Amino acid sequence: MNYVDLRRPVALIGAGQLGKMAIKLWPPELEKPIFFLDEQASQEINGIPILKTSSHKPDSSIQYVLSYFKSDPKAIKHLFETFLNQEIITVYDLLTQANPDLFSNGWIGDPENLEIARSNLPFFADEQSRVIYSEVLDWRYLRKLSNSVPSPETDKYNLKNYGRASSQYDLVIDAGSYDFSFPKSLLDSNITWKSLIAIEPDPSRQAEVLNQIEQTAKVTDFPGDSRLEKRALWSTNQEAYFYSNGLLSARIAKSPDETCTKIETVTLESLLTPQIKGANTKILTKLHVEGAEWPIIYSSSRFLERDFMHDIIINLSHDEESLVKIPALLHDLGKHELFLHSHALFGEGLTLFARSKGTL
């Protein structure tokens, strides 16, 4: 099912960070938005004017597309249902519909999978996680937006909430490093490491990761080391085609086009096995890899049965397989307790923390 008529003019609601990102990701074959609506911003973005929402008269010939996800959902419902008289359409709907291989966060669930997805609910360790999961299913499968306000993004990787404050890991894997913000957030929780591998296959981001590694080493007083891994984490130790665009959508391609480049890949098992010294080894893996989460976890399932202490953080926003299959697989392995955190509406910003049942 498609929610966006790609032939009609589009106006974006929200000229903040997400609105600016949307313009950078805008499909070249589509006409740019004719204007932004925003109550706070006033300057144009890439030549696109910004109008005040309060002084705008809705036009039924225009398709209004939401480009902010961190707000009171009641206000968003009122905006669309009462002011615009239009169903809610998000910029992720548009980007995914235009090119789902490059950008998939606006995926729509297959209704036949809804009951399978709901069967995952008992697998989560607390009621808050079950509520979050139910609300994500309501949007992905039924287009029903809950009234829950998202948590602050600063809590996305706050391991204090899961009893992991002031811990030290033998190894931290930062897969999809982008700007090295994940390791820096760990330091805010007094979490340190003996070794850290920042995985960033996009050449245009590697310099920034290396710079952040260098800057972080200067301001911290623990002896852990950090290094950059340029291979992409994937299901094989081979090669893959990659959208190397320097943006948050950089990813391994499933249907590559002429913009893709070939890169080397590495499996989680190959990366971690040399680091495991026994059952007392403590590893933290973060996977935010734009749709590669399920192939990585599935190909690692036998490896994940091994006896060592392994906490895993996984973004579940990028596709249906990740949302439905990853919690089920980890539950069946029986080595983790599962928790969810959501820092955005519409099933976006959904983070799974699989806490090892082993002692840290």
- Tell me, yes or no, whether 199 and 82 share the same domain: no
| CA atoms of 338 and 128, how far apart (whole Å) | 11
- Tell me, yes or no, whether 24 and 147 share the same domain: no
pTM of the predicted protein model = 0.96
Q: What separation, in Å, do the N-terminal and C-terminal C-alpha atoms of the chain show?
A: 46
Tell me the pLDDT tens digit for each residue of 13-65: 999 999 999 999 999 999 999 999 999 887 899 999 999 999 999 999 999 99
Tell me the pLDDT tens digit for each residue of 144-200: 999 999 888 888 899 999 999 889 999 999 999 999 999 999 998 889 999 999 999
- Tell me, yes or no, whether 344 and 250 share the same domain: yes
- Tell me, yes or no, whether 74 and 135 share the same domain: no
- Tell me, yes or no, whether 188 and 266 share the same domain: yes
- Tell me, yes or no, whether 307 and 158 share the same domain: yes
- Tell me, yes or no, whether 132 and 82 share the same domain: no
| CA atoms of 328 and 335, how far apart (whole Å) | 12
Q: Residue 94's domain is classified under what CATH number? A: 3.40.50
- Tell me, yes or no, whether 156 and 69 share the same domain: no
Tell me the pLDDT tens digit for each residue of 292-350: 999 999 999 999 999 999 999 999 999 999 999 999 999 999 999 999 999 999 999 99
- Tell me, yes or no, whether 257 and 349 share the same domain: yes
Residues 209-242: b if buried by 16+ CB within 10 A, e if exposed = bbebbeebeeeeeeebebebbebbbbbeeeebbb
- Tell me, yes or no, whether 68 and 38 share the same domain: yes
| CA atoms of 60 and 52, how far apart (whole Å) | 18
Quote the pLDDT of residue 222: 74
- Tell me, yes or no, whether 90 and 121 share the same domain: no
- Tell me, yes or no, whether 187 and 320 share the same domain: yes
Number of structural domains found in the chain: 2
Report if residue 303 sits inside a domain.
yes
Domain that holds residue 156: 116-356
| CA atoms of 347 and 140, how far apart (whole Å) | 7
Q: Residue 275's domain is classified under what CATH number? A: 3.40.50.150
Q: Is the pLDDT of residue 1 over 70?
A: no
| CA atoms of 154 and 349, how far apart (whole Å) | 11
Tell me the pLDDT tens digit for each residue of 117-148: 999 999 999 999 999 999 999 999 999 999 99
Quote the pLDDT of residue 218: 85
